Structure 1
């Protein structure tokens, strides 16, 4: 199987698909119509050759995914605002931002939201497990067992978080669109014509998924921190934060290898990530598959890909 190179994410009642510097967002509006927007996003990696080197490119690819994902989510939400919901009165802080930054206020709000989200994620998934494992030092010592406990706790918190939010109705629908995104890519990469019927019978798990990437990050962080074990708490916290880009770079290369390989060993190592996708992807309905197909066809010539790879 040769990777198609396309990827995406679920948004509010729709899907974003990216192929190189082009991306599309397809959304099912309340009136039943599918609206598709296609734009260009070159990303940080295109600005410097250094940013495209192995183990470095993963850091900037992750940043690009966050930025593009936030833009796509905001766009999909704006369509439902247009469909009849009255816009809420801005709060004091939002009014201040509008007065201070004018037309750029929305971008500033988006950037602030992303920064706060990253800080919260680092606190919950990196700092908190490190602090808890330090409390266990009298029982576990400062060696391998404490590092393993920290890593396992980090993974447990992540799985619990993913599982709990999947119980929310809106998130469940988003996970269904996530499944439709994967099914479309699997359909193409297995040489099937991109029809609703073929998409629906394709797998909803994919080795290049962001869920797998996050799990790989946590597993690789265990390997790093088995070796790097500072004595004091503050040094441990600093090391965890500073090594995030390095761990992300290594994880990206493994995910890239997994997406382009059918090697039995690579497939075996990919299994935990695919199993975790059982929580973050749900079976979509046919209307969701239609939205996914629209998003793919806006940026990717699947017929040419299949002709080149499957005759």
Structure 2
């Protein structure tokens, strides 16, 4: 495996692939055609170099991925609106009149902030509350930290299991699998075609699901060491330490994505196992969409020529 630098995200009936500042979204429209949009986003770490320092950049890289991901998701959803001719309600009309062209970006910001707050509540604070119910039976602070971590992982698994029952989410997980397969295909020196992509793995070490799993494991280690006696300080520590935990987790994920040693692969296994919940084998039509997104932003032939001399492109 050789690092390519490309990454992506599944959207509604499509894939977003990013290479540096360039990203492309490919969507399979209801009529069966593939629509592609290419755009550019300059990351915070590029605009402000100090934010790109190790252990600091992780939080801002995550913010960048949220911004690009929301843009891609919003665009993909536009092809599948239930009733495009329906008259907007009074509240929608008022929002459009007040905010005008800025409405979409404002709504995206509100959704991102709300999602972040909900994620903190569900995955950071709720496990602490549940773990505290067992406090009379577990005197050890170390065991309490481990219990809280396992509760956090259990909540995440239950959440994924619940949302995966929705048809749209199941198909999104299939597109997620096709995204990983495309990247694995290229990074293992194979020509980018449907047959090679289909034969490639649907798990990848640089996946966002792996990042979440690493965050959960790192949080266990942090909270085993950092202890407070008062309840409100414990709640505060879970919030304040999020950037630190995310920064450490990102550095590990970044290192793992660029290395293929046995030790790194072993340490990456928990995240890869978790991807079994968020990736599903795609069909060939989904693979075609992923390939279209890759080819819009990445010259994979030049990459293979440089990193895998002697590769052959099958007819």
Same fold (TM over 0.5): yes
Q: 1:91 to 1:148 in 2, by over 3 A?
A: farther
* Local SS of the residue matching 2:55: coil
Structure 2 CA distance, aligned partners of 1:97 and 1:246?
A: 37
Structure 2 CA distance, aligned partners of 1:93 and 1:198?
A: 50
Structure 2 CA distance, aligned partners of 1:47 and 1:185?
A: 27
Give the aligned CA root-mean-square deviation in angstroms.
1.3
Tell me the equivalent position of 2:195: 197
Tell me the equivalent position of 1:63: 63
Structure 2 CA distance, aligned partners of 1:273 and 1:53?
A: 25
Structure 1 CA distance, aligned partners of 2:250 and 2:85?
A: 39
Distance apart, 1:163 and its partner CA: 1.8
* Local SS of the residue matching 2:175: helix
Per-residue CA shift, 1:85-116, capped at 9, x if unaligned? 32554445433432322211121111111111
Distance apart, 1:167 and its partner CA: 1.8
Counterpart of 2:296 (choices 288, 295, 298) is 298
For the 8 Å contact 1:28–1:291, the answer to whether it is kept is yes
For the 8 Å contact 2:180–2:203, the answer to whether it is kept is yes
Structure 1 CA distance, aligned partners of 2:79 and 2:222?
A: 44
Tell me the equivalent position of 2:256: 258
Is 1:42 matched up with 2:48?
no
Structure 1 CA distance, aligned partners of 2:93 and 2:227?
A: 47
* Local SS of the residue matching 1:220: helix
Q: Using structure 1 for the length normalisation, give the TM-score.
A: 0.96
Aligned length: 309
Tell me the equivalent position of 1:163: 161
Equivalences for 1:64-103 in 2 at 5 Å? Answer: 64-81=64-81, 85-103=83-101
Structure 2 CA distance, aligned partners of 1:142 and 1:35?
A: 56
Tell me the equivalent position of 1:25: 25
Equivalences for 1:227-238 in 2 at 5 Å? Answer: 227-238=225-236
In structure 2, runs of 5+ residues without a counterpart are: 310-315
Tell me the equivalent position of 2:208: 210
Structure 2 CA distance, aligned partners of 1:92 and 1:14?
A: 32
* Local SS of the residue matching 1:10: strand
Q: Using structure 2 for the length normalisation, give the TM-score.
A: 0.95
Distance apart, 1:238 and its partner CA: 0.6
Tell me the equivalent position of 1:53: 53
* Local SS of the residue matching 1:183: helix
For the 8 Å contact 1:196–1:290, the answer to whether it is kept is yes
Distance apart, 1:170 and its partner CA: 0.9
For the 8 Å contact 1:26–1:294, the answer to whether it is kept is yes
Deviates more, 1:130-139 or 1:213-222: 130-139
Tell me the equivalent position of 1:173: 171
Q: 1:110 to 1:91 in 2, by over 3 A?
A: farther
Structure 2 CA distance, aligned partners of 1:198 and 1:275?
A: 23
Structure 1 CA distance, aligned partners of 2:86 and 2:7?
A: 34
For the 8 Å contact 2:30–2:79, the answer to whether it is kept is no
For the 8 Å contact 1:134–1:233, the answer to whether it is kept is no
Distance apart, 1:175 and its partner CA: 0.3
Equivalences for 1:80-159 in 2 at 5 Å? Answer: 80-81=80-81, 85-141=83-139, 143-159=141-157
Structure 1 CA distance, aligned partners of 2:62 and 2:137?
A: 37
Distance apart, 1:168 and its partner CA: 1.4
